[in-house]
């Protein structure tokens, strides 16, 4: 395929953006792949772009060709599918991921020519095309849960002259017919590594999966299997992806609307809010910003040690006498906590509702992390014997995480 001068300069811009993101030149093999599969060929005419206020607004190629083209070659994620959830919020459920993050993940995968590779989350098909440039088309299998998204990806791949196998189905099951794979890469995030992925990984092999927790979706788990199939891995910073969704989650395509929600959980129900507000406030020494602020290492640790617990800062009009409010909720909805920082003097209090004292659990997690010297995520590890249960640890498997931590 011959690129036009406009396409060539757009790809040169993209390479510069990715190099900025990496802080070094794009490795040769991935620079070649980025040139070989132009990103705009994988984007539908109607996409959604970040609106700067935490949401996404539509961009129609016919109406705004320059903005659409600019997004295609910028280091930004481009949302390609909105979904109306059963609760009514409209959330992004498929996108072309930001190119810098894509290349960082591909580097972490350490793909070699001739490897068989399984990708979970086909999306636009762009990443599958990049994988196919290096591994060869016949070596790549990619699984997408959304049938319409999978069909669009097949068409885009064909248009770009690439022919990896696109499977429509729940990627949590992998694709056993193509196993074993030397490499498995997820481009949707997981709270636990589906056993099928490790079972289908060759020995030795490597798996790369963006990490998700109810508290915070951040970090990428990189796992290697040895010749026995025993898996050991660690987290590395970066990677914030849409979550792996169940195959039948009642999604509805809302057309060209605007995203009204994020994919980050759900607010407490009105009754739970009122009940929590009526609970007695108790002083707490832990600042909500320590665990729900800009420190993603702290957020990562809370996500790992207190699984299934979600948080959100209250937005909207500020209440009299209150500087900030953080809502904390167990995903089963049974327990909530409200952390409030007073406007005068900054005194912090917490109100608990339900059987679990969620803020106490978070405080304990933060103290454990603090006492351990605030280790960053690269010191956290994952191991699993073939067919066994995973173990999470700090520095070595002899230092397992406290009981109650997520067991992926
Ligand atoms: C960030 S997008 C992937 C980007 C993609 N690799 C690309 O190059 O455009 C995440 C994708 O994962 C898909 N997904 C979510 N849950 C899944 C599952 N259980 N099985 C397979 N795909 C899934 C979503 O439908 C979405 O298309």
What is the model's pLDDT at position 264? Answer: 43
DSSP 368-400: HHHHTT---GGGEEEEE-TTS--EEEESEEEEE
> What is the SS3 assignment for 188-228?
CEECCCCHHHHHCEEEEEEEEEEECCCCCCCCEEEEEECCC
pTM, two decimals, is 0.92
| Residue of minimum CA distance from atom 5 in ligand 1 | 123
| Residue of minimum CA distance from atom 14 in ligand 1 | 121
Whole-number Å distance between alpha carbons of 190 and 217: 9
| Residue of minimum CA distance from atom 3 in ligand 1 | 123
Measured CA to CA in angstroms, residue 357 lies from 40, 309, 361 at distances of: 49, 11, 7
Whole-number Å distance between alpha carbons of 160 and 152: 12
Measured CA to CA in angstroms, residue 335 lies from 151, 167, 403 at distances of: 41, 40, 20
Whole-number Å distance between alpha carbons of 78 and 56: 9
User: Tens place of pLDDT for every residue, the chain, 408 residues?
Assistant: 677 888 889 999 999 999 999 999 999 999 999 999 999 999 999 999 998 887 899 999 999 999 999 999 999 999 999 988 777 788 899 999 999 999 999 999 999 999 999 999 999 999 999 999 999 999 999 999 999 999 999 999 999 999 999 999 999 999 999 999 999 999 999 999 999 999 999 999 999 999 999 999 999 999 999 999 999 999 999 878 999 998 876 555 556 566 655 444 556 787 888 999 999 999 999 999 999 999 999 999 999 999 999 999 998 777 888 899 999 999 999 999 999 999 988 899 999 999 999 999 999 999 999 999 999 999 999 999 998 999 999 999 999 998 765 544
188 CA distance to ligand 1 middle (Å): 5
94 is catalytic: no
242 CA distance to ligand 1 middle (Å): 7
| Residue of minimum CA distance from atom 12 in ligand 1 | 121
Ligand 1 site residues, Cβ closer than 6 angstroms: 93-97, 120-121, 123-124, 126-127, 143-146, 149, 170-172, 187-188, 241-242, 244-245
Cα within 13 Å of Cα(76), Cβ side = 19
Please name each of the domains of the chain with its CATH number.
83-236 (3.40.50.150), 270-371 (3.30.160)
What is the model's pLDDT at position 271? Answer: 84
Whole-number Å distance between alpha carbons of 331 and 309: 6
Q: What are phi and psi of 102, to 5 degrees?
A: -60, -50
Whole-number Å distance between alpha carbons of 379 and 234: 7
Residue among 94, 126, 220 whose CB has most ligand 1 atoms within 8 A, to mutate = 94
What is the model's pLDDT at position 407? Answer: 45
Q: What are phi and psi of 198, to 5 degrees?
A: -70, -35
What is the model's pLDDT at position 173? Answer: 97
For residues 148 and 172, the answer to whether their CB atoms sit within 8 Å is: no
What is the model's pLDDT at position 404? Answer: 60
Catalytic annotation, pick one of 94, 97, 335, 383: 97
Atom number, ligand 1, closest to the C-alpha of residue 146: 25
């Amino acid at each position: 395929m011959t690129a036009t001068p406009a396409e060539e300069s757009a790809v040169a811009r993209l390479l510069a953006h990715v190099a900025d993101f990496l802080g070094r030149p794009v490795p040769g093999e991935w620079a070649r792949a980025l040139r070989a599969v132009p990103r705009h060929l994988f984007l539908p005419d109607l996409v959604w772009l970040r609106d700067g206020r935490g949401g996404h607004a539509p961009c129609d190629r016919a109406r705004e060709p320059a903005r659409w083209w600019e997004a295609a070659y910028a280091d930004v994620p481009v949302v390609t599918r909105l979904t109306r959830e059963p609760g009514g919020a409209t959330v992004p459920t498929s996108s072309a991921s930001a190119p810098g993050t894509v290349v960082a993940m591909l580097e972490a995968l350490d793909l070699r020519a001739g490897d068989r590779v399984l990708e979970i989350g086909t999306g636009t098909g762009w990443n599958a095309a990049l994988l196919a440039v290096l591994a060869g088309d016949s070596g790549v299998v990619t699984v997408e849960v959304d049938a319409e998204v999978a069909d669009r990806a097949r068409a885009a791949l064909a248009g770009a002259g690439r022919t990896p196998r696109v499977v429509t189905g729940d990627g949590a099951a992998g694709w056993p017919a193509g196993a074993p794979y030397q490499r498995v890469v997820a481009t949707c995030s997981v709270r636990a590594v589906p056993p099928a992925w490790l079972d289908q990984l060759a020995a030795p092999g490597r798996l790369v999966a963006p990490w998700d927790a109810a508290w915070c979706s951040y970090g990428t788990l990189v796992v290697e299997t040895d010749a026995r199939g025993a898996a050991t891995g660690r987290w590395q910073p970066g990677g914030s992806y849409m979550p792996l969704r169940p195959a039948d989650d009642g999604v509805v395509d809302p057309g060209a609307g605007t995203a009204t929600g994020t994919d980050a959980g759900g607010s407490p129900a009105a009754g739970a809010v009122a009940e929590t507000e009526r609970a007695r406030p108790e002083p707490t020494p832990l600042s909500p910003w320590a665990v729900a602020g800009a420190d993603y290492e702290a957020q990562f640790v809370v996500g790992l040690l207190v699984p299934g617990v979600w948080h959100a800062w209250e937005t909207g009009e500020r209440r009299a006498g209150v500087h900030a409010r953080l809502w904390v909720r167990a995903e089963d909805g049974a327990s909530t906590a409200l952390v409030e920082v007073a406007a005068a003097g900054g005194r912090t209090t917490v109100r608990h509702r339900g059987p679990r004292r969620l803020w106490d659990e978070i405080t304990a997690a933060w103290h454990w992390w603090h006492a351990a010297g605030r280790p960053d995520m690269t010191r956290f590890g994952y191991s699993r014997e073939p067919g066994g249960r995973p173990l999470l640890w700090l520095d070595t498997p002899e230092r397992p995480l406290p009981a109650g931590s997520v067991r992926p």
